[in-house]
Structure 1
Amino acid sequence: MTNLSSITTGRSPLAVDAFSLGLQSKSVARKRASAKARHLIAFALLVSLGGITHAEQPPTLSPATTAAAANLVDIRALVPDIAEDIKYAGRDNFVGAPVDGYRAPACLLLRPVAEALARVERELRTRQLRLKIWDCYRPARAVAHFVRWAHDLSDQRTKAQHYPTLDKSKLLGDYIAPVSGHSRGATIDLTLQRCAADGRHCTPLDMGTDFDFFDVRAHTDAPGITTVQHANRLLLRDAMAREGFRNYPLEWWHYTLTPEPTPHTLYDVPVQ
């Protein structure tokens, strides 16, 4: 949910402020409404972050203002009964409040990504398994909300559930990045469920940690989990890999379709 594989992990407070006050600020967006200006902001951000690891082209902020304009579709248009618990649309998340940009508990993805995920779900159902989705496309403004929360060291409401072994001051950088791959519309956070024969009574598999647990135990191959928990993580990883999704190894729940449909474009349309 946090780190972005295509951008270096080294970050500074200046980079965070540039993103929070520039790319995400509504007042700046109004003053600099042109796509060219937003491109320059995104480019400056990438320079401040130290460059790009797998491509020379820096990401740009899409001018799209609606999901349709961004080619984002609701996964339920393809799988109407897919299980969802969109964490950032409510209060059950590490921020402890609804996150900016989430106006509805919906999973939006770029159409090719949604189609691939629907194929994963259909294959799993032949084995009495199903997915459960926690997050999909994430507006850039939501990422800025995460950064603001991380700077507020007085807010410790979710520490016991999400970062019990870490000081909150350590979350920026390693766990919360100023740019998220979710904002490109090809990344999903999810888990796996086993269902009864009727397909209606499903129970999440034991993965060893909750979603958004900031700890080494959340690494897909973490040594401190049980054999069953590791096997469940690999079961999810194998099912996703068959349709082209790559796991982010520091978060067992995090998957990105490869190659990404728009690897150099960030989106900021609301989820609704």
Structure 2
Amino acid sequence: MAVNSAFRPALFFAALLFGTHAFADGTPTLSAAKTTEQAGLVDIRKLAPDIAEDIKYAGSDNFVGTPVDGYLAPKCFLLKPAAEALARVERDLHTQHQRLQIFDCYRPARAVAHFVRWAGDLSDQRTKPAHYPTLDKGALLGDYIAPVSGHSRGATIDLTMMQCDAADAHCKPLDMGTSFDYFGTLANTESPQATPAQHANREVLRAAMERQGFRNYAMEWWHYTLTPEPTPDTIYDVPVQ
């Protein structure tokens, strides 16, 4: 769940409340859109009906341990150019009996604020064994969690790859070395802690995504952003429903 660590928290939350314009330091504009249609966000299943989804923040199987604010349904929305590019990745993979599995797509700004509140509650350690076993929770704010996320711009996605049999059935996720939203260096795409087989699997995913214009975030093997981004200076806060 990569973040933008350059931020001014008080001003950012003022922007959320009052809809102010982008700041000179690069803090993005909050869109006035109230619906996915107004924001230009597209449900990926309209373009790739069979794509596999495991939208983690719509349920409790995530690092917060509860459904996250703004996720009212387990759906993947992206701005149209990103959705079209992702659908092309999925079609390309089908020729190799492979497919994508999506963990997260567009993320409402209110969800990111939920993450920040959770990170500030050091008494809640329920998900430490699964998500940050080698880190103190207090260290998560910054590189891992911050008030501004690229996901809120509508062109970033978290995902993995599955290998299917010759009949395109019985698809199983490839071994990438960590689960989704593992906070630690093993999740770095080029981590020396990963095995050669895990590196190879990460490279297969990266190559498939790069062919359609997505770039990887080096700290997280699952995180990709379409380049150039359609709305690089705008974030959205419409609910996923």
Partner Cα distance (2:10, 2:117) in 1: 9
User: Which of structures 1 and 2 has the bigger CA Rg?
Assistant: 1
Residues 95, 18 of structure 1: alpha-carbon distance in 2 compared, 3 angstrom cutoff: farther
Aligned-residue offset at 1:201:
1.3
Q: Which residue of 2 aligns with 1:119?
A: 88
Q: Does residue 1:16 correspond to 2:9, yes or no? A: yes
- Aligned to 1:174, the other structure's residue is in SS state coil
| Alpha-carbon distance in 2 for matches of 1:39, 1:125 | 44
Query: Which residue does 1:162 correspond to in 2?
Result: 131
Q: Distance in 1 between matches of 2:135 and 2:236?
A: 31
The structure whose residues are more often helix, as a share, is 1
The aligned counterpart of 1:91 is 60
Q: Paired residues, what number?
A: 241
Aligned residues of 1:2 and 1:175 also touching (Cα < 8 A): yes
Is the 2:2–2:217 contact (alpha carbons within 8 Å) kept by the matching residues of 1?
no
Once the two structures are superposed, residues 28-67 of structure 1 have per-residue CA deviations (whole angstroms, 9 ceiling, x without a partner) of: x3xx4xxxxx124x52xxx6xxx34xxxxx5211110000
Q: Scaled by the length of structure 2, what TM-score is found?
A: 0.96
Other structure's SS at 1:39 match: coil
For 1:106, the aligned partner's letter is K
Aligned partner of residue 224 in structure 2, secondary structure: strand
Q: Pick from 3, 10, 20: which aligns with 1:39?
A: 20
Runs of 4+ aligned structure 1 residues displaced above 3 Å come to 15-19
How much identity, in percent, do the aligned residues show?
Answer: 67
CA distance in 2, matches of 1:257, 1:10: 20
- Check whether the contact 2:44–2:78 (CA below 8 A) recurs between aligned residues: yes
Task: Please state how far the C-alpha of 1:22 moved relative to its aligned partner.
Answer: 2.7
Q: Distance in 2 between matches of 1:90 and 1:129?
A: 26
Amino acid at match of 1:2: A
Cα distance between partner residues in 1 of 2:73 and 2:11: 28
- Name the SS of the counterpart of 2:36 in structure 1: coil
CA distance in structure 1 between the aligned counterparts of 2:56 and 2:34, rounded to whole angstroms: 23
Per-residue deviation, 1:204? 0.2
Q: Which runs of 5+ in 2 are unaligned?
A: none
1:148 aligns with 2:121: no
The answer to whether residue 62 in structure 2 is matched with residue 81 in structure 1 is: no
Q: For structure 1, list consecutive stretches of 5 or more residues without a partner in the other structure.
A: 33-37, 53-57
Equivalent position of 1:3 in the other structure: 3
Show the counterpart of 1:131.
Answer: 100
Asked whether the equivalents of residues 16 and 147 of structure 1 are also in contact (C-alpha less than 8 Å), the reply is no
2:156 — aligned with what? Answer: 187
2:181 is the alignment partner of 1:200: no
How big is each residue's C-alpha offset from its partner over 1:80-107, in whole Å with a ceiling of 9 and x where there is no partner? Answer: 1110000000000000000000000000
SS of match in other structure, 2:32: coil
TM-score by length of 1: 0.86
**Which residue in 2 is equivalent to 1:35?**
none
Distance 1:126 1:106 in 2: 25
Q: Does 1:176 align with 2:157?
A: no
> Is the Cα contact below 8 Å between 2:152 and 2:235 reproduced in 1?
yes
Q: CA RMSD in A?
A: 1.3
In the TM superposition, what whole-angstrom CA distance separates every residue of 1:165-224 from its partner, at most 9, and x where no partner exists? 111011001210110000000000000000012212100000000100000010000001
Q: 1:23 to 1:146 in 2, by over 3 A?
A: farther
Q: Partner amino acid for 2:20?
A: H
Give the conservation status (yes or no) of the 8 Å contact 1:190–1:253: yes
1:17 deviates by 4.6
SS of alignment partner, residue 190 of structure 1 = strand
Amino acid of the residue matched to residue 88 of structure 2? R
Select the residue among 183, 193, 200 that pairs with 1:224: 193
Instruction: Say if 2:184 is the partner of 1:215.
Output: yes
CA apart distance, 1:16? 3.3
Tell which has more relative contact order, 1 or 2 (C-alpha 8 A, sep 6+). 2
